[in-house]
Each structure stands twice: as structure tokens, then as C-alpha cells.
Amino acid sequence: MERKSFQLGDIVQMKKPHPCGTNEMEIIRMGMDIRIKCTGCQHSVLIPRAKFEKNLKKVIRSADNTVENN
């Protein structure tokens, strides 16, 4: 099975869209729990890491790739 990798600052897509209709979340805190912020309405939620990994669909934009346009 494919292992999902993610890090602080990544923009991720979850399996279920946020109630506001946006399906892009930014990882703003990582630890035992992960805090993600909706890029549409700026609402943030704290969810257990296991649940986050289960609900993660894909990483849309990795924070690692931000310097590639230089």
C-alpha cells in the first residue's frame, strides 16, 4: 500500500470536502494531532493523526516545492 507523506505547510485534499464547499486544507500544526485550516473559510480543525491519514485523499501542493520557480 502506498504510504502518504505530508508535512507542515502542505495543501492537502481530504476525502470529504469542508461544509463550505472548499476541499483544500493547509496543514498548520503537526504532532500527535494535526491541525488543518480550510483555505476557503479559514476555519481550522484539530484531528487525530490516524484519522487525518485515513481521510487524506492526496497532497495537492507540498511545502517543499515552493522554491522551484527561482
**9-48 mask for Zn ion (x: CB under 5 A)?**
---------x-x-x---------------x-xx-------
Residue 64: helix, strand or coil by DSSP?
Answer: helix
Phi, psi of 63 (to 5 degrees): -65, -20
Minimum CB separation from Zn ion for residue 2, in Å? 27
Report the alpha-carbon distance of residue 65 to residue 35 in Å, rounded.
21
Instruction: Kindly tell me which of 8 and 45 has the beta carbon lying closer to Zn ion.
Output: 45
Q: Residue with C-alpha cell 502506498?
A: 2
Binding residues (CB under 5 A) for Zn ion: these are 18, 20, 22, 38, 40-41
